[in-house]
Amino acid sequence: MPVAVITGASRGLGLALASSLAARRWDLVVDARGGDALAEATAGFIGDGRVVAIAGDVADPGHRAALVDAARTLGGLDALVNNASSLGPSPLPRLAELPLDALDAVLRVNVAAPLALIQSALPLLAAGGRIVNVTSDAGVEGYEGWGGYGASKAALEQMSRVLAAEHPELRVYWVDPGDMNTQMHQDAYPGEDISDRPAPETSVPGLLALLEGTLPSGRYVARQLVAA
């Protein structure tokens, strides 16, 4: 069975993707900051694959090492999905009011942590292995209030482009899942009704196409990918 590491898998897109892969008989290493929420989420998985759930923060080097060690114990690594993200302050501040320590924290989780996890995972990834970095249209468009988060996703996208150039033997994807009805999107719009946003499950088929298909490295929009 193929093995995947998925960060941020206790809710939202990470949970939807992990649940789908478990049903497709993938072995999984999943994480989230909240141990109880992660245990509850993974208890509902249906499938024959093994699931190793490790609570922790992707910004913690020891936690990242535990994720990679768990994948090694499962037999290797076929896919790394960097899904965990930090939105930053809520409500979203304009750049003129964005605290620099908050920006540092967002960059640490959204840029430095994925790179560190990639560095640790590379020795386990054989030719054809997948790296999926979940990004956002906020990384390519200018939305008021989204400067800190958007800057982190722009950095993640450029890092992904360079990684793809440096590792042509791998399939490196940076993927915009689109707007979704998730806690992160609710935090971005406190007090607003976001029930009109699509469920994160609607973005999963596009991610599966990347994880199980033969598309070349590049940037993709998950729901457009399936529609195409």
Q: What is the mean pLDDT of each run of 10 residues along the chain (228 residues)?
A: 97 97 97 95 92 98 98 98 97 97 98 98 97 97 97 98 98 97 94 95 97 97 83
User: Is 143 known to be catalytic?
Assistant: no
Q: Residue 28 belongs to a domain with what CATH number?
A: 3.40.50.720
pLDDT score for 226: 82
Number of separate domains in the chain: 1
- Bridge-based pairing state of the strands 125-134 and 171-176: parallel
Which residues does residue 63 pair with via DSSP β-bridges, in sequence order?
none
pLDDT score for 191: 93
Match 């976001």 to its residue by tokens. 194
C-alpha 147/C-alpha 66 separation (Å) is: 32
| Sequence-separated (6 or more) residues with CB below 8 Å from residue 180 | 12, 13, 197, 198, 199, 200, 202, 203
pTM: 0.97
pLDDT score for 43: 93
Per annotation, catalytic residue among 143, 149, 173, 220: 149
- Percentages helix, strand, coil for the chain, rounded to the nearest 5? 50, 20, 35
Range of the domain at 213: 3-227
Cβ proximity of 81 and 132 under 8 Å: yes
* One-letter amino acid for residue 145 of the chain: G
Sign (positive/negative) of CA torsion 1, 114, 86, 223?
negative
Helix (H) or strand (E) holding 80: strand 77-82
